[in-house]
């Protein structure tokens, strides 16, 4: 459903993401792991068509995100790190607006609206301004916004950050429910979340994929924490040889 191949993104001299490749099968939930600043958000922004890559290709539901951008974007729901809400709109008006710009027909919107309001537990706040909502509700509106047009692919950037335990449990349950009908990419650095929710795991560190496997295979012999720490510390010896050579050359 999602094919990422040799993806590279440079901001000037800084390489945020370097030669990343991975695939997500239809209906799967992919846990996209990595320390802060490892390139998770950059990768997700490229997958959703927010920014172009410096190199490499991304295909979503068979459509290239660069060449067939519109077709690909129609099939993606995206929840950025902070939910993209207009604070002066009510929840219902906001969701209707999103449904329209995602290309839904007017006749389809009332049903879709009812569906996401129930699903995300927003029925009691439809008339409230999004700017007046608590963080947990804002996150749910963000999620509702991502799924209103029933996209094949969902990209969620740290959907549970800053929520209280009760809300975290609810949001995780919701994401689990969404799998099957949707293919989900979930970025996070909360490992138990991955263990509970995801089927497949991709770990990136310093802009490179250091581990890609099914969760079940990874956690056969060790815990996810061990796998994660091992994977991200593997990165360092790989980077050291060039430094060593340089030092050697200087002598």
Partner 1 sequence: MRNVLTIVGKELRSYFVSPIAYVVLTGFLLLGGWFFFNLLSRFNLLLSLYLQVQGGEAANRFNLNDSVIAPLMHNLAIILVILVPMITMRAYAEERKGGTYELLLTSPVRTGEIVLGKFFAAFLFIAIMIGLTLIYPAILMAFGNPEFGIMASGYLGLLLLATAFAAVGLLTSSFTENQIIAAVSGLVATLLLYVIGWPAETAGDALGSLLRYLSVTEHFAEMVRGIIDTRALIYFASLITLALFLTQRSVESLRWR
Considering the complex, state which of residue 16 and residue 203 has its C-beta at the smaller distance from partner 1. Answer: 16
User: Binding to partner 1 by residue 250, rule CB under 8 A?
Assistant: no
- Report the residue number, 130 or 205, with the smaller CB distance to partner 1: 130
Minimum CB–partner distance for residue 73 and partner 1 (Å): 5
**Within 198-237, which residues bind partner 1 (CB under 8 A)?**
none
Paired with 59 in beta bridges are 3, 64
Q: Which of 31, 56, 83, 159 binds partner 1 (CB under 8 A)?
A: 83
8 Å CB contact between 130 and 85: yes
The answer to the question of residue 62 lying near partner 1 (CB under 8 A) is no
Q: 3-state DSSP call for residue 95?
A: helix
162 binds partner 1 (CB under 8 A): no
CB contact at 8 A, 31 and 218: no
* φ, ψ for residue 228, nearest 5 deg: -65, -50
Q: Which two tokens stand for residue 118?
A: 């129930």
User: Does residue 78 belong to the site contacting partner 1 (CB under 8 A)?
Assistant: yes
Q: Is 84 in the site for partner 1 (CB under 8 A)?
A: yes
∠ Cα 157 133 196 (to 5°): 35
Among 37, 62, 67, 82, binds partner 1 (CB under 8 A): 82
| Cα 7 from Cα 70, distance rounded (Å) | 20
Compute the least distance from the CB of residue 129 to partner 1, in Å.
8
Nearer to partner 1, 148 or 209 (CB): 148
Q: How far is the CB of 168 from partner 1 (least distance, A)?
A: 21
CB of 167 to partner 1, least distance (A): 20
74 binds partner 1 (CB under 8 A): yes
Contacts of residues 57-63 at CB distance under 8 Å and 24 or more positions apart, as own/partner, are 57/3, 57/4, 57/5, 57/6, 57/7, 58/2, 58/3, 58/4, 58/5, 58/7, 59/2, 59/3, 59/5, 60/1, 60/2, 60/152, 60/153, 61/1, 61/152, 61/153
85 is an interface residue for partner 1 by CB under 8 A: yes
Structure tokens at 146: 């991502």
Q: Is 70 in the site for partner 1 (CB under 8 A)?
A: yes
Q: Which residues bind partner 1 (CB under 8 A)?
A: 11, 45, 48-52, 69-71, 73-74, 76, 78, 80-89, 93, 97-98, 100-103, 145
């Amino acid at each position: 459903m999602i094919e990422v191949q040799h993806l590279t993104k440079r901001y000037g001299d800084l390489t945020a993401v370097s030669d990343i490749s991975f695939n997500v099968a239809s209906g799967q939930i992919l846990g996209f792991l990595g320390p802060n600043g490892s390139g998770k958000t950059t990768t997700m922004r490229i997958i959703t068509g927010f920014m172009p890559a410096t190199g490499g290709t991304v295909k979503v539901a068979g459509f290239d995100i660069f060449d067939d951008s519109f077709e690909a974007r129609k099939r993606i729901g995206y929840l950025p790190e902070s939910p993209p809400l207009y604070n002066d709109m009510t929840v219902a008006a906001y969701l209707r607006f999103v449904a329209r710009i995602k290309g839904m027909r007017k006749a389809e919107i009332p049903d879709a609206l009812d569906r996401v309001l129930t699903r995300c537990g927003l029925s009691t706040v439809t008339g409230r301004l999004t700017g007046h909502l608590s963080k947990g509700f804002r996150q749910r509106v963000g999620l509702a916004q991502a799924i209103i047009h029933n996209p094949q692919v969902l990209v969620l950037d740290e959907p549970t950050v800053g929520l209280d335990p009760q809300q975290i449990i609810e949001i995780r349950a919701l994401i689990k429910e969404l799998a099957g009908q949707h293919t989900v990419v979930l970025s996070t650095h909360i490992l138990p979340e991955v263990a509970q929710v995801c089927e497949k795991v991709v770990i990136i560190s310093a802009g490179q994929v250091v581990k890609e496997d099914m969760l079940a295979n990874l956690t056969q012999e060790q815990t996810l924490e061990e796998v994660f720490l091992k994977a991200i510390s593997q990165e360092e010896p790989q980077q050291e040889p060039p430094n060593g050579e340089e030092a050697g050359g200087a002598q």
